[in-house]
Structure 1
Amino acid sequence: METVATRTVEYPADGLTMVGHLALPAGTGRRPAVLIGPEGTGLNDFQRRRADALAELGYVALAFDIHGGRYLDDAEEMLARCMPLLADPDRMRDIGHAALDVLLAEPRTDPDRIAAVGYGTGGAIALELGRDGVDLRAIGTVNALTTGRPGEAARIRCPVWAGVGSEDPIMAPAQREAFTAEMQDAGVDWRLVVYGGALHAFHHPPVDHIVRPGVGHHPRHAQRAWRDIVDLLAECLPVTELLSGR
C-alpha cells in the first residue's frame, strides 16, 4: 500500500513566515482538499497527524500555521497574540487566504472541492473564510463558536458543523446561542454537537505545559468529534476516485 507524501511549506501571512504541513494522498490525480487550522497555541504534531490521516482517506490536506512556525506553550503569550487576532476578522481572513493560496497552488488539489476545518483559533479562521464568501464545500469547527460582523454569515455557501464541550467555559451557553442565532438568521445549513461533560480543547491530547482553567482532554468525545468531522467531509466532499489509480 502506498503511503502519503508530506512536506513542509513556507509562505507569508500576517507579517510572518508561516510554516505549514502539506499531506498528499497516494496516486497522481486531483483530489478534494482540506485546510486544517490549529488551536490558539499553534501548529503542532497533533494537527500534522490530522492532515496525514485525511491524506490517507484520499484528501489533499494542509495543516496551516498561525504563529510563524512557533508553538506558544505559554498561556499569557498565546492570549496576547490570539485575542487581538480573534477581534480582527480581516487579519483572520488574511491568514486563511494565505493558506488557501498554498493549497490551491498544489497540483493535486481540485480547486472546486475544498473544505476548511479548524480548532479554536483555527476554527474561527475557517468561519471567517466562509463569511468572506470563499467557495467552500464544508466548514467544520471544534471549540470555535465565534460570531462575525453583522450580515456577513449570509455569504457562507456551505454546510457548517460545529462541536463544543458542554462544560466549556470559554464557549459558554451564551456564546453557543449567539453563534447558532447568527447561523440561523443567515439561512446557513448548520449543525451544533454538544459533547456532554467535555471542557474546552477536549479534542486535544494532554500536553506537558500549563494550560488555562477549563481546558481538558476527553478521550471518548475526541474520537467522536473526529468521526463527526470525517463524516462531514464524506457527505460534502466525497472522494470519488480510486486511490490506487488516477
Structure 2
Amino acid sequence: MKFLKLSIIAFFSLFAISCKENKSTNPNKTETAVSKNIKTEDVVYNIRGINYKSFAAFTTDSDQPKPVVMVIPEWWGLNDYAKSRAKQLAELGYFAMAVDFYGEGKVVDNPEEAGQLAQPFYQIPINAKMIFDAAKARVVTYPNADHSKIAVIGYCFGGAQALNMARQESDLKGAVSFHGNLMTGVKPKNNKVKILVCNGANDTFVSPEEIAAFKKEMDSAKINYTFIDYPNSLHSFTNPASTEVGKKFNMKIAYNKEADEKSWNDMKKFLADIFK
C-alpha cells in the first residue's frame, strides 16, 4: 500500500504536465477515414442521480453479434480522441464503447481539474468498477453486441483502469493497457483474463520497481499476460501531441509513430486471439 501511495503521488505530480492537451496539434481527430457503414451514438444512463454519456461505434453491414471492446479514455474525459479510437475499433469489426467515467460527458483541458477527477479511482479502485459495470450493462442491451466476448483497452489513466478491471471482472476476455500505470492496489480476483501491456521502454513515469511488482503479481496469480517494451519510446508514445508538449514543458514525453503503430497491431493480434 505504501508503494501504491508513492506511485499515485509521483503519477499526479509528473503526469499532470506530461499529458496536457495541445490544441494546436489536436490529437483528438482520428487520422483513419471512418467507413460510411459505421454508426455512432451517445449512450445515456444514470448512476446515483448523474447522467453518464458513453459513446458506441459499430458497423451496420451485418446483424451478426460482434465482440465488444470497451475503451477507457485518458484522464481528460471522454473526448474526441477516445471516440476516434472507438471508431477505429468499429472499423475492425468490433462493437466499441468509449466509457464516460466522470458523468455528463465531462471533458476537461487542464491537469489540475483532470487530476481531481481521476484521483478517486486510484484511491478507491472499486469506484471504477461501478462506472465500468454500468456501461457494460448498457452494452448487453444491443442485439449486435456479443456480450459473451468483452475486452477492455485504455490509455494512460485508462490503461491503469483497464488493468484495474482485469483484476476485478470475471467475465472479461482480455485487457490492454497503453502506457498506463501498472499497480492499482487491487489483488487479482480472476486469473482467466488475458492481459497485454504496451509500455514505452524509456518511459520514466513507469518505474522499473513498478514493472517488477506488476510482473511478480501476475506471475503469483498465474495470469496469462504479455508485457511489451517498445524501443526508444517515452511516455505517451501513442499521443501525436506528446512531442510538442514535452518540448514546451521540458518533459520526457514524445510521440513515437512506429511504437504507436506496432502497439496497435499488437492489440489487433491480441484481440483476434482472445475472441477466437
Question: For residue 82 of structure 1, what is the aligned residue in structure 2?
Answer: 118
CA–CA separation in structure 1 for the residues paired with 2:153 and 2:227: 14
1:12–1:168: structure 2 CA closer, same or farther, 3 Å change rule?
A: farther
CA–CA separation in structure 2 for the residues paired with 1:136 and 1:176: 23
> Would you say the 8 A contact 2:242–2:253 is kept in 1?
no
> Would you say the 8 A contact 1:73–1:210 is kept in 2?
no
Question: For residue 130 of structure 1, what is the aligned residue in structure 2?
Answer: 166
Q: Which runs of 5+ in 2 are unaligned?
A: 1-34
CA–CA separation in structure 2 for the residues paired with 1:88 and 1:226: 30
State the Cα distance separating 1:154 from its structure 2 match. 4.3
Overall identity of the aligned pairs, in %: 27
> What pairs up with 1:52-201 in 2 under 5 angstroms?
52-68=87-103, 69-149=105-185, 152-201=187-236
Question: For residue 264 of structure 2, what is the aligned residue in structure 1?
Answer: 226
State the Cα distance separating 1:130 from its structure 2 match. 2.2
1:3–1:39: structure 2 CA closer, same or farther, 3 Å change rule?
A: same
Q: Give the TM-score normalised by structure 2.
A: 0.78
More divergent stretch after superposition (211-220 vs 54-63): 211-220
Q: Provide the secondary structure at the position in 1 that maps to 2:253.
A: coil
Letter in 2 for 1:49: S
Letter in 1 for 2:255: H
More divergent stretch after superposition (129-138 vs 87-96): 129-138
CA–CA separation in structure 1 for the residues paired with 2:171 and 2:160: 17
Letter in 2 for 1:235: D
Question: For residue 242 of structure 1, what is the aligned residue in structure 2?
Answer: none
CA–CA separation in structure 2 for the residues paired with 1:207 and 1:30: 37
Letter in 1 for 2:173: R
Q: Which runs of 5+ in 1 are unaligned?
A: 239-246
Letter in 1 for 2:199: V
CA–CA separation in structure 2 for the residues paired with 1:72 and 1:215: 21
Question: For residue 35 of structure 1, what is the aligned residue in structure 2?
Answer: 70
Q: Provide the secondary structure at the position in 1 that maps to 2:131.
A: helix
CA–CA separation in structure 1 for the residues paired with 2:254 and 2:53: 27
Question: For residue 49 of structure 1, what is the aligned residue in structure 2?
Answer: 84
1:14–1:184: structure 2 CA closer, same or farther, 3 Å change rule?
A: farther
CA–CA separation in structure 2 for the residues paired with 1:90 and 1:83: 13
Q: Give the TM-score normalised by structure 1.
A: 0.87
Tell me, yes or no, if structure 1 residue 206 matches structure 2 residue 250.
Answer: no
Tell me, yes or no, if structure 1 residue 9 matches structure 2 residue 47.
Answer: no
CA–CA separation in structure 2 for the residues paired with 1:41 and 1:175: 24
CA–CA separation in structure 2 for the residues paired with 1:74 and 1:215: 17
